[in-house]
């Protein structure tokens, strides 16, 4: 498989036989934002590129920091409910 550097503006040209022998590897590279022109007998027959608008941007940890607050009426669970969740019997008083 060709290992040329991928320029985002110009898709890498690959032969259809090379593509067919390494489909999963090319799809992984497309997932990483690479693009390819697939050629057959020196004629471009297909463009393989990531879908536009369907690829989620990378997540940013902490993006909502300071925007989420606990409600003032949030209380700890009653002992019998907590015991039921934990799979034990509640202390009886």
Domain that holds residue 25: 12-48
pTM of the predicted structure, to 2 decimals: 0.48
Q: Identify the CA nearest to 12 among candidates 33, 55, 51, 57.
A: 33
Check residue 91 and give its pLDDT. Answer: 64
Let me know if residue 34 belongs to a domain: yes
Instruction: Return the CATH number at 21.
Output: 3.40.1620
Check residue 45 and give its pLDDT. Answer: 96
The domain total for the chain is 1
Let me know if residue 26 belongs to a domain: yes
CB contact at 8 A, 30 and 36: yes
Consecutive 10-residue runs of the chain (93 residues): their mean pLDDT? 52 95 94 94 94 78 89 83 86 61
Check residue 9 and give its pLDDT. Answer: 57
Let me know if residue 41 belongs to a domain: yes
Check residue 3 and give its pLDDT. Answer: 46
Let me know if residue 19 belongs to a domain: yes
């Amino acid at each position: 498989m060709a290992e040329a550097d991928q320029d985002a503006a110009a898709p890498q040209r690959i032969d259809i036989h090379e593509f067919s022998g390494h489909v999963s590897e090319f799809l992984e590279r497309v997932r990483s934002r690479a693009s390819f022109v697939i050629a057959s007998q020196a004629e471009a027959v297909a463009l393989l590129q990531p879908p536009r608008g369907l690829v989620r941007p990378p997540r940013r940890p902490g993006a909502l920091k300071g925007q989420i607050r606990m409600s003032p009426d949030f209380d700890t669970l009653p002992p019998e409910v907590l015991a039921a969740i934990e799979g034990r019997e509640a202390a009886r008083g």
